[in-house]
Each structure stands twice: as structure tokens, then as C-alpha cells.
Structure 1
Amino acid sequence: MKYKKLGQIYTPKWIIQEILDEVDFRGEKILNQKIIDPACGDGAFLIEIVDIVIGEAKNRKLGLEDIRNILENNIYGIEIDRDEYRKCKTNLNNIVRTKLGIDKIDWKIFNDDTLTKYREFLNFFDYVVGNPPYIRIHNIDREIRDLIKNEFEFSKGVLDIYLSFFELGLQILNRQGKLGYITPNSFLRNSSAKRFRRFLKDRKIVRTLIDFKSNKIFRNISTYTAITILDLNHRKNSFEYKEFIDGKIKKVDEIQFQDLEDSSWSFSSPENRDFLINLYQNRNYKISDFFNVQYGFATLRDKIFIGNITDSKDKLVLFNNYWIEKSILKKIVKGSTYKGDRADIKYILFPYIRPDNRFTPIQEEELASKFPFAYNYLLQHKEELLKRDRDKNSNWYEFGRSQGIQACNNEKIILGTLMKEEINFYFLEKDIYLYSGICITQRTTNIGFDTLSDILKSDEFKRYIAIQGKDFSGGYKSITTNLIKNFPIASIYLKNSRFQPMLDFL
């Protein structure tokens, strides 16, 4: 599928116009300035740019040859897909033919890979604009993946390639340059984008940030987006924060760079910011001081590891249409859908043992000898299991990630990762494990699950999540382990186990 391979998403015209307005691409000055779309596709941004340039040139009474010279020398694009590259040039030629009566322009549009081509244009452009490809690094060919990880500082870990386009975009700007992109808004909160956030904060180059939150800008694409305007000549200690409200982009706040946290950027109204300030005042403890908060198992192939028991004989059970040893299975629930109904309990093939109170993988020879049916089942799926982007140095038959394994064998509170009006959570015994959700276990006996239950049900915790959580369609907010860990505990919780707390701020 071309979208997944190349990350192509086509940009609405009004978004293009908004970005060009935000970078101040207007007036006589643009006739002497250079602009590029580094992932130009079929030319959506460039079409609008050419239209603006031609209009400005005509207003200045420039002749056809002067306009041709401007178009050929100031407007650039790069596109890796040959079909889209051809469409782009055709579309641009159609514009100049219609508006100027010129049949052909020698466009500076390149059919090339921006990840390497950009080196030819360091410190060159006045404007970099566009809609970079949305594609996860693990969907890229290994050669390009290695290039990204070795060459781009913002692209460490499993990230979308758009962060690399931010980095290369900044490198090809001149000292007075401006960059305007529409991208996923995941860089505002994801821990893997922490380096990028710190860079923006330290350099103070953010001019405007427009978060579309749960509004889906692209048809048939579930990506949540933001427009980011960077200005290398930005000389302020703050930037404008805007949101898409009632079908219009509106300013919400002026954000001070000094107030930004490296861990996550979550912006809201001044009233909500005051609530958060009051929430943190005079509170010396967080939930993480008393509880372990982790995501559940991440097998990266749930359809292989998780299923139901449909039959049994002796010590074997029929699991996903294979007979395997029952003793290697553990009970498990899915945090995102579990509502407390015991009928929703499934089973997970658990290739781990627990000597010395710590889970370790069963060695392959031991797995084959003690659990020959389960081992044969895993062998039948080995090719698929090897395709996972699993933890380094892990065995092919282990879960893709080791998260949650050590804490699983404890009594726990579990919850999903989305909230609407209420936060639903459930208590589970130690022998029932969790995937696709959040697991909370006790670190200390100072505070018990009854007190934690009061905290999770409190109005201030729900408001905290509503402000800090990422927006999803349908009015949902994301709940993350970091948000839970960092929630400050009021002193009254440390003294009493059952109460309804008063809000610090109304």
C-alpha cells in the first residue's frame, strides 16, 4: 500500500493557505526569496505558492521573462514517488499556461529522496513548508532506517519520519528562515520526541502552534495533527498557541518557553493552567511514590499468544486450534475492553518462569522438552514472530516487549488508556494478567488500593486527565502511565483512606 510505504497524505487547500499566511509568505519580498516543499507530492503546496507569486509579480507589473526567472529560480520541490513527481510538474505547467500563457517552465522539482538530497541545500531557503510523510520508521527499508537513525538526532527510537523532516528542514533554512509544517501532533507528548521538544524550547524558535486536537483534518485518515511554525529569527520568549474551535482557528494562549516541560507539552486555557498550578502546590508526593504504574503485556502478536480454551483432555487444552500444555497458559484480560465481566477472561501463552521472584524466559531447550506441544505451536508461527520489532537480545518466542512482566503477578488495579466522562477501573487478583491497558500495583503499604480508588474517582483527577490527556475523536482523552505516575497526592489522602476530597481550585 503506497500510503503506508511512502506516508503520503494530501493536504486540504485551506490548510496550505493557513501555513503560508503563518510564515508570512506575501508581499513584494517573496519575489526575491526561495521556498521549498521537501515532500511535494502532486504539488498542492507548490500550486498555491506559484499562484501567490504570479499574483504578486503581476501587481508589480513584471514582464513574462522576469516572472519566468522567479518561478524557475525561487520555487523548489522534492518528491520521491515518480508518479507524483510527474503529476506535480504537470499541475504546475497547467497553472503557468492558464495564468501566463507560458507552455513550459524549467521547474526546480526533483524526483529524489529528501533524506539525502537536502544536503545540497544547507542554509539555502527562506521558507520550508509542507506536509511531511507520516510513516513509522519500522515500515521503512532497513537502509533508509539506518540512515535516519545515524544522521538525524530527533529520530531516535520508533518514530514517525516527520521528525526527520523537521530536522532537515531547519538545516536547509537560512538564518532568517521560517518553517511551516502540518504533522501528527504526537511530538507534543510522546516520550520519544523529548529531544525535539527540548531543542525547540532551548532555541526558542516556535512562533505559532496550532493543535487540531481531536479534529481529523484529513479525510479517511485517523491521524491527529498540528501546524507548527518555526522562525529562526523569532525574538520573543513566548509563542502563540491556537486551537481549532467551532470550525475556526482561534488563539487560546501565549505560551512562555520557560514554562515548558521536557516530559510533555500539554496546552490549554489560562483557567486550566491555573488549576494545574494549584494542583501541584504544597503536594510533595506523587502516585508513583506509592504505586508501580505500567502498561500491560505487549506481545506484538496477540493473535498468536492470546486466545480461548475450547476443549481439554488430560493435561492438554485446545488453544487457537492447537493442542498445548495447559500449565503454560495464564489467565489474562484486555484492559481496553474489560468491564469486570469474568466471561471476558482469556488465556495467554506465557513462556516465562519465576525463579527467585523474578520472571525470566524459559530457555528454548527447556521449552521444547517440558512443553513440546506449546513449543511446536510457537514453531508453526516462528516466521511471523520473527517479523516483530521486539526487544534487543530477546528470544524469538518471547513477548515483543518485556514491559509489565515483572509486576504482573501481584494484586492490581487495571484500567484502559481512554477516558470520556468517567474513569473505569477494576481490581484483579494476582493470577490474572493484563494486556492492552494499564496495571497499577502497590510499592508500599502506606497507601492501599482503597485510597488509590478514591484518587482515581476524584473530580480533580478527572479534570487533570481532561486537561493533560491527548484528544481522540468522540470526546475521548488518553490516559498514560506517566500522567498517572505524576499526579500529585493531596495530604489528606495520606491521613485518611476513605473521603471525597475538596477541589483545590474551582
Structure 2
Amino acid sequence: MTAIPAESVEHGEVFTRRWVVDLVLDLAGYTADRDLAALVAVEPACGGGAFLAGMAARVSASCRKHDRPLLDAKWAVQAFDLLAVNVAASRRLVRDVLVDGGWSLPEAREVATAWVRQADYLLDPHVPEAVDFVVGNPPYVRLEDVPADRMLAYRAACPTMTGRSDLYVGFYERGLRCLAPGGVLAFICADRWMRNQYGRQLRELIAAGYSVDVTVTMHDVDAFEEQVSAYPAVTVLRRAEQGVAAVVDTRRGFGPQDAPELVEAICSAEPRVGLDGHFEVAQLPHWFAGGDSWPAGSPSRLAMIETLNDRFPALEDPSTGTRVGIGVATGADSVFITTDADVEPRRLLPLSMVKDTTSGRHSWSGHYLVNPWDADGQLVNLDALPRLRAYYQRHAAALKRRHVAGKRPAHWYRTIDKVDHSLVDRPKLLFPDLKTAIHPVLDEGGFYPHHNLYYIVSDAWDLRVLGGLLLSGVAQAFVEAYAVRMRGGTLRFQAQYLRRIRVPRPETISATDRAALVAAFDERNARAATEVALRVYGIAAMEV
């Protein structure tokens, strides 16, 4: 099999500062008070030995504390690296740490040689199983930078590595699968997998059989020996039923002086902010279920969201007939969207555009969809509509170039999406895709939304009451936690994020609060909407 080029591997190496190593080991419970010689820890990509140095010091101290000879720990650590130069460097470092700990050179050399070997952790058939710890900083290498045959082998060995995955996803998967019951994996690693599409199957694996014990976001922390844009986080996962999860956000200035206080705070059952304000900790009763993206935000914000997830149903709810959708995509807006087209009048469907929602009230700009769909969901017969046929034929070259037309040439004049005619006359809350703040606007009926607008319809909700809730800071908090944030702070208010919003059941809201939400919605007063929403949800203002 083709080896990974050395430059690819070296490009993925990001060496961890010693105090960060100690923090990760402390959070994992890899501490000298335990009999570490009787346990097995794996470092799956040891590089120059940053983690091994910390582990060796702790094993040395543990052997002294438990009155063991060092050779009892000969197989207590199993470390892997692809590069011979890293293996040699790591062995020297372990040897030196052990000698500094008072052990003889021959036994230190024997232990160091046994601990570290040159192998590919993701593919090696002799990787130990049922281990107590997997700790480290896995390499950051995009799969497309790996030779094709090895990439295929990685994907076969680690099925969570889907799409445009990064190699570290495989390290998470194999590390988790190698844990004994109660075993712990603790990595410092880029956190993109927690939220993006290629991390979905890894999140599903974790949700199915592991506990998220701790997450520590360290985006602004100087955690590595070199400056990198890795967006790191420490994640501590356990092979156990999900229990309480500690969520930590560190801030610029967080450093070795804060780490011990952070470890102590995580052990506390109360939310806590570091004395110097460099971190915040909150305890969640459990972690977020399933493979959907994990939310981002301050610990207090995440605790609020998880509490609301437990207490309230999702916005999209069959019991209330509440549904979230997106407007029509045409594949050729310049043809299908018009203010004045020479077609049969019944083929012009009034269309809501983003610009119609700018003021906060629906103000139609006069745009129509040149509609090729009958009410039964079938394409119209152009032979029965000569003006529509002539219009489409004038634009036939552009329409037939579209992918959707190439798939079904006989349907060359269709829009990408079908038109759901039952939606036209229904009241709808409309949401522009790109905004810095949530922006529900009521269409009282008679219009169809364009594909840059998302919509909500409901059988049970008064949409002005619901609009007031969705104008509030509580709804904004949900979207901020899950949505993609673009440059300049713009958010994507897509259906997948709107569906994550939790709302009380409409019948549980008092008449007074309903009237206040309607007034806030009509006045476009987000502050007033938030005040009522906090009362309705039963949460404190400081949590929003």
C-alpha cells in the first residue's frame, strides 16, 4: 500500500503545549494517584512525544506511589506514529523523563522502546482492544491529501469518515471502538466535526454508545507550539451511558494558571466562571441526542437550550400541524420570475420575494412566478396554453441547459421544485435566508414564497402569536446555536435551523401573554417579544 508522503503527515502535525497536555490528562482522569501500571493507555499519533512526556511523568509517579517497579508499566502505554523520526524522538523523550524520575537508564530505555512503535493506528491489526484510555492530539490531514489507495483503506476501516472528512474523524472512531467499558477518550482537536456534515456519522456513533463528559472550547487559546487556525476543543468521551456533561468556554488569556481551577470547576455541580473571567463552566443534565449538529455558544446558553429541549416540543410538530418549508427554486429565475410576462393570466402566480419582507410587513413588489404546474401537481399541457408555450419556447435554450431539464428532457419547462397550490392562500410566516437577526414576516395569504424565503404554516397557532415568539431573543438563541454564521455576523435562517427552535404548546400561553406577543410582533419590537417569551418559557433574562 502506498505510504502517506512525509510532507502530508508533517503538515498535519500540531504539537501541544505541556500545560494543555496536563489539562487533557487531568480531564481524562489519567492521574498519578491511580495505579497506571495496571491500566492501558493509547496515544494514537504521538508525533514528537508531547503527550508521552506527560504520561511518562505520571506513570513514573504512580509506580512510586503504588510501590511498583517501573517494568510493571512496560505495556501500560501503547503509542503509534507513521514516521520513524517521530518514533525515535518519542522514545528518547520518554527515556529521559523516566531517568529524570530516578529510574535506571536500562529499564527506562526498555519501557520507552516498548511504549512507542512505528505503525498506522487506523490500519494496524495489532492495535490493542479494551483499553482504559485513548489520549492525544490526532493529525489534521484532509482525506483528499492522502494517496487514493490508502484513503480507500481508511474509509473501509473507519466508516464514519464520509464526504470531505478529515483524518482525525477516523482517530475518534477507532479510539472509541477500542475502549473498554468505562474507558475514556480525551483529544484536543479541531471541533468542526461537532457541527458539519462530515461529522454526522461520528456524532451518531457517540450518541449510540458513549457519553460526552466534557467539552472545552479553546478557539482563542494559545494551545499549540505554533500558531495555527485549528479551532481546537478538548473533548472527553466515555464508553458508558450518557450522564451529566460539563461544557466549558475558554477566552483569550486562558493559560496554565487557569487550568487547575478549570478542572476543579468541572467537578463542581454548579455553573461557574473563572475568577479572572478566562473561562465559564456549565453542567448539562445530559448531552444533545442523535447525529444532528451539536450547538455552539456560551455554556449558560447551551444549558438553557438543553433545558428547553427537554421541556418543550419542536417548532415543527404534527400535533399542531406546524410545518417549516422553503419556497420554490426554479433553476432559471430570469425566465420564471417576472413582473410582466405575456402568458395566460392564470399562469401568473403572485410571488413573495425577500425584498417584500424588508420592512417587517409583507409589501408585495409585484413579482410573479410563470407557473408551469397544475393544481394536481402535474405539469401543464403547453398545447392548451399557446401564450405560455410561446413564452417558454422563447427561452427554451436557457431552460434546456439546466440539470433538471437534462434529467427529464420532456419536462424541460418545469421549475426545480413543484408548486404546492394548497400553500398559496394559507397564512404564512416568512423568513429571509440571510439576516443578522431573526425576522418573521406575516403573509396573510395569496402569495407563494421564492426559494430565498423559508416559511411556517400551522393549523393550531395564531401566526401573530407564534411570530412574536419567533421574533424574540429565545428563538434567536436557538438559531445562533445551530446555524452557520457568515462573514459579518450574518446567519442562515434555513429550515433545518428553524426546526431546532422549541416552543410551548399554543394552548398553554395565557390570553394576556398572547396579546402581548401579538403587539410585539405587530410593532416589530424584539425586546418586548423577548420579555414575554422569557415569561412564557419560564427562564431568566440572564440566560438569553
- Amino acid in structure 2 at the alignment position of 1:77: A
- Work out whether 1:263 is the aligned partner of 2:292: yes
What corresponds to 2:379 in structure 1?
none
| Percent of residue pairs bearing the same amino acid type | 15
Distance across 2 between alignment mates of 1:186 and 1:157: 14
**Greater percentage in strand:** 1
- Amino acid in structure 2 at the alignment position of 1:159: S
Distance across 1 between alignment mates of 2:439 and 2:304: 26
Offset of residue 222 of structure 1: 2.0
| Aligned positions of 1:434-453 closer than 5 A | 439-440=452-453
| Aligned positions of 1:337-376 closer than 5 A | 353-355=398-400, 359-360=404-405
CA deviation map 1:360-399 (0-9, x unaligned): 469xxxxxxxxxxxxxxxxxxxxxxxxxxxxxxxxxxxxx
CA deviation map 1:315-341 (0-9, x unaligned): xxxxxxxxxxxxxxxxxxxxxxxxxxx
Residue 185 of structure 2, aligned match among 179, 189, 196: 179
- Work out whether 1:113 is the aligned partner of 2:120: yes
Are the counterparts in 1 of residues 216 and 250 from structure 2 also a CA contact under 8 Å?
Answer: no
| Aligned positions of 1:50-449 closer than 5 A | 50-62=56-68, 66-67=69-70, 69-100=71-102, 101-102=104-105, 105-106=109-110, 107=113, 108-117=115-124, 119-203=125-209, 205-206=210-211, 208-212=213-217, 214-216=219-221, 217-218=223-224, 219-232=226-239, 234=240, 237-245=242-250, 247=254, 248=258, 249=262, 250-251=265-266, 252-257=281-286, 260-266=289-295, 268-269=299-300, 270-275=303-308, 280=313, 284=317, 289=323, 291-292=325-326, 353-355=398-400, 359-360=404-405, 406=416, 422=437, 439-440=452-453
- Amino acid in structure 1 at the alignment position of 2:167: I
Offset of residue 111 of structure 1: 1.8
Q: Would you say how many aligned residue pairs link Structure 1 and Structure 2?
A: 393
Offset of residue 36 of structure 1: 1.8
Offset of residue 487 of structure 1: 4.3
Structure 1 residues 38 and 258, CA, compared in 2 at 3 Å: closer, same or farther? Answer: closer
CA deviation map 1:1-30 (0-9, x unaligned): 946765211112222212222232232521
Are the counterparts in 2 of residues 31 and 53 from structure 1 also a CA contact under 8 Å?
Answer: yes
- Work out whether 1:27 is the aligned partner of 2:33: yes
Distance across 2 between alignment mates of 1:111 and 1:257: 39
Distance across 2 between alignment mates of 1:288 and 1:11: 49
Offset of residue 48 of structure 1: 0.6
Offset of residue 39 of structure 1: 0.4
Q: Where does structure 2 lack aligned partners over 5 or more consecutive residues?
A: 1-5, 267-280, 332-396, 408-414, 418-429, 441-450, 507-513
Distance across 1 between alignment mates of 2:433 and 2:62: 57
Are the counterparts in 2 of residues 215 and 473 from structure 1 also a CA contact under 8 Å?
Answer: no
Offset of residue 47 of structure 1: 0.5
| TM-score normalised to structure 2 length | 0.58
CA deviation map 1:441-477 (0-9, x unaligned): 6799999xx9999998653432222344479999997
Are the counterparts in 2 of residues 287 and 487 from structure 1 also a CA contact under 8 Å?
Answer: no
- Amino acid in structure 2 at the alignment position of 1:178: V
SS of the equivalent of 1:149 reads: helix
Are the counterparts in 2 of residues 214 and 472 from structure 1 also a CA contact under 8 Å?
Answer: no
Distance across 2 between alignment mates of 1:43 and 1:213: 21
Structure 1 residues 237 and 59, CA, compared in 2 at 3 Å: closer, same or farther? Answer: closer
SS of the equivalent of 1:183 reads: strand
- Amino acid in structure 1 at the alignment position of 2:35: K
SS of the equivalent of 1:193 reads: helix
Offset of residue 256 of structure 1: 4.6
Are the counterparts in 1 of residues 316 and 499 from structure 2 also a CA contact under 8 Å?
Answer: no
**Cα RMSD (Å):** 5.1
SS of the equivalent of 1:90 reads: helix
Structure 1 residues 458 and 61, CA, compared in 2 at 3 Å: closer, same or farther? Answer: closer
Distance across 1 between alignment mates of 2:8 and 2:328: 33
Q: Higher RCO, 1 or 2 (CA under 8 Å, sep at least 6)? A: 1
Whose Rg is larger?
Answer: 2
Distance across 1 between alignment mates of 2:9 and 2:175: 22
Offset of residue 49 of structure 1: 0.8
| TM-score normalised to structure 1 length | 0.61
